[in-house]
């Protein structure tokens, strides 16, 4: 694997090429390993309970090599539930080891924490936390919050970040969730997205006034030193979405093998209602906001 210096050199070269020479090569990739899940969250349009697809290790290796060839150096494994993924004796940790052998600098996993999970291999683990107690369960089903608390306490990973998707079922819990994460000995920080209205989930989108009030609330916590991953500039950009998206920074490979140079929001025509916090961060990165550059480096390198 490349040394930290070589990694920083690659990142600097990538940034220069993208910002000043117009080279649009992805730097990170979201790879869906399966659509098999142990929850059926109200806001999600990915899980497939009836006929789940699980990719083979060989398919995933080919996809990882493709992403690396595009220029990507960071992977987020998504699903379905990535910790359910297996091919023979191989699990998600074997997949991360493979990605590192290919040359990726680090990998993250997004999990619902419904079963015990362990990974010394993942650089960071995103735990989806959609509120505290009943708010989380409203989105994810009865008992989901209790299971998450138990598994987060025993996973032993040092870089757990909570990820909250804010929607009409849980927006009132944002402040309480920030305080819960701050007080937790297990989470390092929290990151926010708003609900993105993929088909069938439109009714969960919060209205514009509520969105603006929540962004102000998150920024007020951030100014008081709470550990919130989104940057202030990125959050402000998510207020009105009046910026040029730079979503090609992340390419996607979905469970059915579809490869897209950006998130599926574009093909569903929902970019004007995008909630993904990363959209604001990627734009801020491109406009050289130091806050975003340091946040990205501390997460990834």
Alpha helices in 31-190 (DSSP H): 57-70, 92-102, 134-140, 144-154, 174-183
Is 119 a binding residue for ligand SAM by CB under 6 A? The answer is no
Order of all β-strands in the sheet with 106-111? 187-194, 160-166, 124-128, 106-111, 74-78, 28-32, 250-253, 259-260
Sign of CA dihedral 252, 115, 191, 272: positive
Is 168 a binding residue for ligand SAM by CB under 6 A? The answer is no
Among 27, 31, 55, 79, indicate the residue that binds ligand SAM (CB under 6 A): 79
The CA–CA distances, whole Å, from 159 to 132, 146, 162, 180, 181 equal 20, 20, 10, 16, 13
**Contact present, 263 and 247 (Cβ < 8 Å):** yes
Q: How far apart are CA 299 and CA 227, in angstroms?
A: 13
Among 195, 211, 237, 289, indicate the residue that binds ligand SAM (CB under 6 A): 195
Among 28, 72, 106, 112, indicate the residue that binds ligand SAM (CB under 6 A): 112
Is 226 a binding residue for ligand SAM by CB under 6 A? The answer is no
Applying CB under 6 A, which part among 144-152, 178-186, 191-199, 261-269 lies near ligand SAM? Answer: 191-199
Among 245, 275, 277, 296, indicate the residue that binds ligand SAM (CB under 6 A): 275
- The distance of closest approach from Cβ of residue 276 to ligand SAM in the complex, given in angstroms and rounded to an integer, is 6
Applying CB under 6 A, which part among 73-81, 87-95, 221-229, 280-288 lies near ligand SAM? Answer: 73-81
Q: Where along the sequence are the contacts to ligand SAM (CB under 6 A)? A: 37, 43-44, 46, 78-79, 81, 110-112, 128, 163, 165, 193, 195-196, 198, 201, 275
């Amino acid at each position: 694997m490349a040394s930290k210096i070589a990694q920083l050199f690659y990142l600097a070269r990538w940034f220069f090429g993208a910002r000043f020479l117009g080279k649009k090569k992805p730097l990170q990739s979201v790879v869906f390993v399966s659509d098999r899940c142990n929850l059926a969250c109200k806001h999600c349009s990915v899980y497939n309970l009836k006929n789940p697809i699980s990719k083979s290790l060989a398919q995933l290796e080919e996809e990882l090599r493709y992403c690396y060839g595009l220029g990507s150096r960071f992977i987020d494994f998504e699903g379905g539930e990535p910790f359910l993924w297996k091919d023979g004796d191989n699990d998600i940790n074997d997949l991360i080891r493979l990605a590192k052998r290919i040359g990726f600098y680090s990998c993250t996993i997004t999990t619902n924490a419904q079963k015990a999970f362990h990974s010394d291999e993942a650089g960071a683990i995103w735990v989806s936390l959609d509120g505290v107690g009943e708010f989380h369960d409203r989105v994810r089903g009865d008992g989901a919050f209790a299971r998450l608390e138990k598994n987060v306490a025993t996973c032993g990973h040092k870089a757990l970040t909570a990820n909250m998707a804010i929607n009409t079922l849980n927006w009132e819990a944002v402040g309480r969730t920030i305080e819960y994460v701050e007080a937790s000995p297990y989470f390092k920080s929290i990151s926010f997205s708003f609900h993105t209205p993929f088909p069938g989930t439109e009714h969960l989108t919060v209205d514009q006034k509520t969105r603006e009030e929540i962004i102000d609330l998150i920024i007020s916590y951030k100014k008081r030193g709470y550990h919130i991953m989104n940057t202030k500039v990125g959050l402000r950009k998510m207020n009105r979405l009046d910026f040029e998206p730079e979503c090609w920074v992340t390419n996607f490979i979905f469970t059915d093998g579809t490869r897209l140079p950006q998130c599926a929001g574009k093909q569903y025509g929902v970019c004007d209602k995008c909630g993904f916090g990363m959209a604001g961060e990627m734009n801020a990165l491109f406009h050289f906001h130091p806050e975003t550059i340091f946040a990205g480096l501390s997460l990834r390198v």
